Structure 1
Amino acid sequence: MPAAAPARTGVWLIGARGSVATTAVAGCAAVAAGLRPATGMVTETDAFTEAALPPLGTLVFGGHDTLDCPLPKRAEALADQGVLPHGLADAVRAELEAADREIRPGGPLPGDTRDEEELIEAFAADIRAFVRANGLARAVVVNVASTEAGPGDGTLPPSSLYAAAALRADCPYVNFTPSTGLHHPALAAEAEAGGLPYAGRDGKTGQTLLRSVLGPMFAQRALTVRAWSGTNLLGGGDGAALADPRAAAAKNAGKERVLADTLGTVPEGGTHIDDVPALGDWKTAWDHIAFDGFLGSRMTLQTTWQGCDSALAAPLVLDLARLLARAHETGLAGPRPELAFYFKDPDPGAPAALGEQYAQLLSFGRLLAGER
């Protein structure tokens, strides 16, 4: 008798036609087909072999977006920018088209007359229909939309409407953005009572990743950091969104928090973000660190990080979707500080240093494997 086909798991992406989502869908298809290695995916390393995570080939993608550019065309544009390898968009076109068919209109759009309850229920109904139509064991909702400034008037921002819909559809939730999501006070009781695992805020892909390594280094070597200043240049949708000072403030809060948490103090200096549309999906981050050495000798460390934001983020999105799906399968619920490795603003109780976060992630993998 042939073995039963493995259960399929849904990944519902908020911002499903954006660069990160497109790269994740295309990348998952390429790795599952053996066309590309799983570079950047921690869940594909030996440490997670026994964790019983859903195989990449069993992931089914859908989502919400307010844009109407089809995923294959978006993938072609990313290939033209050098984000995706040449020819990959054609090689995985069938998978991109299948995901695109599962994308539903997001909101609220200008002129939308639906109130918050109607929007939440409409979004939740879309997710439930996706799970039902594809015969999925479960779906994980992942917010990869551009950073929002937030309404500032007490109403639920779009990210929180989607987060509430995830809870209502009985889906684990990941917030890969600095946006409010489940952190809105109006959702606290529902999140606590939902019995669902959820994780983080704001994926840690570049400058903050480096800071979470360098901060502990200075502290452990008893070197006094006097000032730490940073600048980010980026384009694309995130660059445009972060041109809004309120959105930039939300982003920078996470970047600066890791310094306070790892150094035990807040050094002088700040972090600045500049929108440079010509850079597209690529970004450059500079840090200038002034510190004191033995006998008060003045020294500096300067770093430059240049990378493709979508290619950095996509493997983390796939990791998180698989980890939360498995956590849900095993009955885990509530915030998952064990996944701090992936976030600038992790859930309470998590360490700030990357090495400690990685150790905690490995322990989580053993827990998912059934080890105690």
Structure 2
Amino acid sequence: MIGALAVRAGLAEPTGCVLESPELHSDALPGIDELVFGGHDISSIPLGKKAAALAEAGIVPARLAAAVQDALLEIEQDVRPLPVRDTQAEIAEAVGADLDGFRRRHHLDRVIVINVSTTEPAPRPHPAHADLDALRAALDGPDPVLPPSALAAYAALSAGCPYVDFTPSTGARLPALDALARGQGLPYGGHDGKTGETLVKSVLAPMFALRNLKVRTWSGTNLLGGGDGANLADPAANAAKSASKQRVLHETLGYTPQGDTRIDFVEDLDDFKTAWDLITFEGFLGTRMRMEFTWHGCDSALAAPLVLDLARLTAAAHGAGRTGPLTELAFFFKDPLGQVPHALADQWQALRDAVAAFDVRNTRR
């Protein structure tokens, strides 16, 4: 929000916003200045104080945090606590009512719901996950049926809102929710924003494959602080995140090299992250070699412009009549939906083709 407000006011450049590339220009995409913000938050800390904290941590310039305080106060009027009800069906209905009220108050063409909450553990399978009618019946019961991200997706889709999951959580990745999206004529996207180490993997792994070099091992250690780091100290959430980060190697190389990805919480790092990767590989006549890289990044600064891009892309897809999974958004995700290429260059081409198609479809509608 800070970034969008700053760009809108001419106080900052849209650096990191993929859609600002000339190759992705499209009249079908809403501008950053057309976005209206609101949502549900488990935190009661005012947005202005959050902005000040980000400035103090060195994540955003203090002058920008100060300049957008009034605008953040206006957005605050459209931030709601998560509703508490007796059943998940009632929670979804309350969330849907909030979304509809937001749409009406601001006379919006459409509302895009993007999940940017912390990673949740993989859910236990439930028979209702496979069938929409069974899911609706089960949600009326006293026991939780859906994890929070999937309940948010159910509420959004039921309210006529496209849904995007920027986390590795379940979100709309259930057969029942896919059926709901298609029945409502809505698109959805995900999962797990690709901002750091995995972004580098999606560039390097294709290099090894194209040069026919055999990757023997690929191990990585991620050190991060902040709320995400604290949440990933939970073994179940950590396992879900680590699995998402490793998928790119198998999908790109065609096999899974030895090694794994570790994620450790280091409180002192705050919102910054360091990733160390060691790759051993084999060349001509079996010669053993290795490569190492270190990534130092700020997750918030890397993720925020992508969230703006995803809101704009999903709005254009909805306007073009797309329904079901938005596989062309793979460029943005570690664990994208569908059977898609995982090499970044291939994903970039798919994104370019999709944006060009949005122009054609929006013209016809």
Candidates 275, 280, 285, aligned match of 1:290? 280
- Matched residue of 1:88: which SS? helix
**C-alpha separation in 1, matches of 2:19 and 2:177:** 30
* Residue identity matched to 2:107: G
2:146 maps to 1:177: no
5+ residue gaps in structure 1? 1-24
Q: What displacement does 1:52 show?
A: 2.5
Q: What RMSD, in angstroms, separates the aligned Cα atoms of the two structures?
A: 1.4
* Residue identity matched to 1:27: G
- Matched residue of 1:243: which SS? coil
Provide the residue aligned with 1:306 in structure 2. 296
2:99 maps to 1:127: yes
C-alpha contact (below 8 Å) 2:157/2:184 kept by paired residues: yes
Residues 205-284 of structure 1: pairs in structure 2 closer than 5 A: 205-284=195-274
Aligned CA distance change for structure 1 residues 357 and 151 (closer, same or farther; 3 Å): closer
Aligned CA distance change for structure 1 residues 113 and 63 (closer, same or farther; 3 Å): closer
2:147 maps to 1:157: yes
* Residue identity matched to 1:352: H
Provide the residue aligned with 2:311 in structure 1. 321
Provide the residue aligned with 2:141 in structure 1. none
Q: What displacement does 1:334 show?
A: 1.2
**C-alpha separation in 2, matches of 1:153 and 1:265:** 28
C-alpha contact (below 8 Å) 1:40/1:315 kept by paired residues: yes
5+ residue gaps in structure 2? 127-144
Q: What displacement does 1:113 show?
A: 5.0
- Matched residue of 1:370: which SS? helix
**C-alpha separation in 2, matches of 1:188 and 1:332:** 13
C-alpha contact (below 8 Å) 1:156/1:184 kept by paired residues: no
**C-alpha separation in 1, matches of 2:254 and 2:279:** 16
- Matched residue of 1:291: which SS? strand
For 1:190-212, what per-residue CA distance to the aligned partner results, in whole angstroms no more than 9, with x for missing partners?
12322101112111010110000
For 1:87-109, what per-residue CA distance to the aligned partner results, in whole angstroms no more than 9, with x for missing partners?
111111122112221111115xx
Residues 53-68 of structure 1: pairs in structure 2 closer than 5 A: 53-68=29-44
**C-alpha separation in 1, matches of 2:207 and 2:27:** 31
Moved more, 293-302 or 73-82: 293-302
C-alpha contact (below 8 Å) 2:213/2:281 kept by paired residues: yes
Q: What displacement does 1:187 show?
A: 2.2
**% identity of equivalent residues:** 54
**C-alpha separation in 1, matches of 2:221 and 2:267:** 16
Candidates 70, 85, 90, aligned match of 1:94? 70
Provide the residue aligned with 2:11 in structure 1. 35
For 1:284-341, what per-residue CA distance to the aligned partner results, in whole angstroms no more than 9, with x for missing partners?
1111000011211111100101100000000100000001011111211111111100
Aligned CA distance change for structure 1 residues 85 and 197 (closer, same or farther; 3 Å): same
**C-alpha separation in 2, matches of 1:350 and 1:101:** 40
C-alpha contact (below 8 Å) 1:200/1:345 kept by paired residues: yes
For 1:123-147, what per-residue CA distance to the aligned partner results, in whole angstroms no more than 9, with x for missing partners?
1111111101111111100000011
* Residue identity matched to 1:227: T
**C-alpha separation in 2, matches of 1:232 and 1:88:** 30
Aligned CA distance change for structure 1 residues 150 and 65 (closer, same or farther; 3 Å): farther
C-alpha contact (below 8 Å) 2:122/2:240 kept by paired residues: no
- Matched residue of 2:7: which SS? helix
Provide the residue aligned with 1:13 in structure 2. none
* Residue identity matched to 2:318: H
Provide the residue aligned with 2:113 in structure 1. 141
Moved more, 238-247 or 177-186: 177-186
Provide the residue aligned with 1:114 in structure 2. 86
Candidates 181, 197, 202, aligned match of 1:191? 181
**C-alpha separation in 2, matches of 1:46 and 1:343:** 22
**C-alpha separation in 1, matches of 2:123 and 2:255:** 31
Q: What displacement does 1:185 show?
A: 4.0
**C-alpha separation in 2, matches of 1:241 and 1:149:** 10
Q: What displacement does 1:58 show?
A: 1.3
- Matched residue of 1:208: which SS? helix
For 1:60-116, what per-residue CA distance to the aligned partner results, in whole angstroms no more than 9, with x for missing partners?
100011110011100100011111112111111122112221111115xxxx55211
Provide the residue aligned with 1:331 in structure 2. 321
Aligned length: 344
2:59 maps to 1:83: yes
**C-alpha separation in 2, matches of 1:95 and 1:233:** 34
- Matched residue of 1:231: which SS? strand
